[in-house]
Structure 1
Amino acid sequence: MTRPAEKTAFRAVSLTGFVLCLLAALWGWRTGVLTSQERLHAFVASCGMAGALLFTVFQAVQVVVPILPGGLGCLAGVLLFGPGWGFVYNYVGICAGSLLAFAVARNCGKPLLHLLFSEKTIVRYSRWTEEKNRFARLFALAIFLPVAPDDFLCYLAGTTEMSWRRYTAIILLCKPFAIALYSLGLTLLWQALA
């Protein structure tokens, strides 16, 4: 079990990240970067490859320290870089973050789950780990379909006996469908609202 001080520190880091994202959004709105697609594309183009790299790193960090819902990042990738490159940057960032989350959980163990996630989520999905092969199948299905808390499941997988090879194969092979579905669905929704 984690100590209250650790939970408070982690929540403070998450809140700080959220506030920084909010401030960036306010800046983007006030400067017109978030209200004009032309200005947004011009801003991203002015950053060159640094913009793509920063976005990819943001997506990776987003898995390890969830600040915003992952779907918003997928939408941002498509809006910033178009459907092709947006998908690539989303995929690379999310897969890198998923591998990092697995590594962190592998090293820190189950107490980390209690620090990062609600008890309700832990109880609900921990039942999946009671049978080794069952967890791998359910994990792969959950990663393939964009319906489960992927960030949590990546951490949970790191606390199981799942091998790095199997985990990596599941992430690399199953993530593209979910990312494409999120990106396409949210893009269509965004266009309908705009």
Structure 2
Amino acid sequence: MTTSLQDRHKIRFAIKVMSWIVFLIILVIMFYLYSQGYITDKQKLQAIIKSAGVWGPLLFVLFQIFQVIVPILPGGVSSAIGVVIFGTGWGFLWNYIGICLGSFLAFHIAKTFGRPILHFFFKPETIAKYETRTTDHSRFSRFFALAIFIPIAPDDLLCLLAGTTSMSYRRFMIIILLGKPLSIYLYSMGLVSILGRLLPLGIF
């Protein structure tokens, strides 16, 4: 995969524009749901979710998969939205499935296309900040596991970066499956708690 620096800038700009468009659409949808009382009324929220059938969870899982590869919202916000819409239990489950699948896909994309794929999503200085850790693969595996378990770095970049190392699919899957639950729970419930204090949420 060989592209000029100018092409990479154009692609990164297009991804940013697309991310902002999707972000604004999400804001409009959330504002509409809030203004109509769906977010503050548990029964109304459950009714609209039930009317969506299987499409509600499916579309949210697909969104989370996309969100891992092309971050649209700040870390944890999309997880909090899942809990707000689907409730604590189901929200956590759909978050977990979507984020894990997205992480696997990002890892596979990097395994397939190699390190140049990183430059389509991130600035060179951002990549350089973390790629020095890949020189020692055993140390990178430990750092990656810690970063996934207790988020201390951008997961989207690290999943792609891990795909450019010798890390196996098996090791990556174990780290993601075991490390994600805590971070998803802490992020989503923490933000929901903050939102609950700022807004009269009546969904729990």
Q: Structure 1 length normalisation: TM-score?
A: 0.91
Residue 94 (str. 1) matches residue 96 (str. 2): no
Q: Select 2:59's aligned residue among 32, 54, 60.
A: 54
Structure 2 CA distance, aligned partners of 1:67 and 1:8?
A: 18
1:187: how far off?
1.1
> In 2, distance between residues paired with 1:169 and 1:106?
17
Cα distance, 1:26 vs structure 2: 2.1
Could you tell me which residue of structure 2 aligns to residue 170 of structure 1?
175
Question: In 2 relative to 1, CA 10–45 (structure 1 residues): closer, same or farther, beyond 3 Å?
Answer: farther
Distance 1:28 1:176 in 2: 25
Deviations 1:110-163 (A, max 9, x none): 111122112222111111111110000000000001231000000000000000
Q: In 1, Cα distance between the equivalents of 2:26 and 2:127?
A: 32
- Which residue is 1:134 aligned to? 139
User: Which structure is higher in RCO with an 8 Å CA cutoff and minimum separation 6?
Assistant: 2
Amino acid of the structure 1 residue aligned with 2:143: L
Whether contact under 8 Å (1:14, 1:66) holds in the other structure is: no
Match of 2:21 in 1: 19
Aligned Cα RMSD in Å? 1.7
Alignment of 1:1-194 (within 5 A): 2-3=3-4, 4-29=6-31, 32-35=32-35, 36=37, 37=39, 38=41, 39-194=44-199
TM-superposed deviation, 1:18: 2.4
Q: Relative to 1, partners in 2 of residues 1:24 and 1:145: Cα closer, same or farther, differing over 3 Å?
A: closer
- The verdict on how the C-alpha distance between 1:81 and 1:146 changes in structure 2, with shifts beyond 3 A counting, is same
CA distance in 2, matches of 1:139, 1:43: 39
Structure 2 residue identity aligned to 1:116 = F
Say if 2:15 and 2:121, in contact at 8 Å, map to a contact too.
no
Q: CA deviation at 1:21?
A: 3.4
Q: Which structure shows the higher helix fraction?
A: 1
Stretch deviating more after TM superposition (46-55 or 136-145): 46-55
Deviation at residue 46 of structure 1 after TM alignment = 2.0
Please give the per-residue CA displacement for 1:94-122, whole angstroms capped at 9, x wherever unaligned.
00000000000111111111221122221
Change (3 A) 1:19 1:110: same
| Percent identical residues | 46
CA distance in 2 between counterparts of 1:131 and 1:28 reads: 44
Q: Which amino acid aligns with 1:144?
A: F
**Separation in 2, partners of 1:58, 1:145:** 23
User: Which one-letter code corresponds to 2:121 in the other structure?
Assistant: L
Query: Shift in Å at residue 2 of structure 1?
Result: 4.5
Q: Could you give the per-residue CA deviations for residues 14-68 of structure 1, whole angstroms, max 9, x where no partner exists?
A: 4124213313432552xx3133213544433321221011001100110112222
* Structure 2 unaligned blocks of 5 or more: 200-204
Contiguous gaps of at least 5 residues in structure 1? none
CA–CA distance in 2 between the matches of 1:144 and 1:2?
A: 35
CA shift in 2, pair 1:156/1:95, >3 Å = same
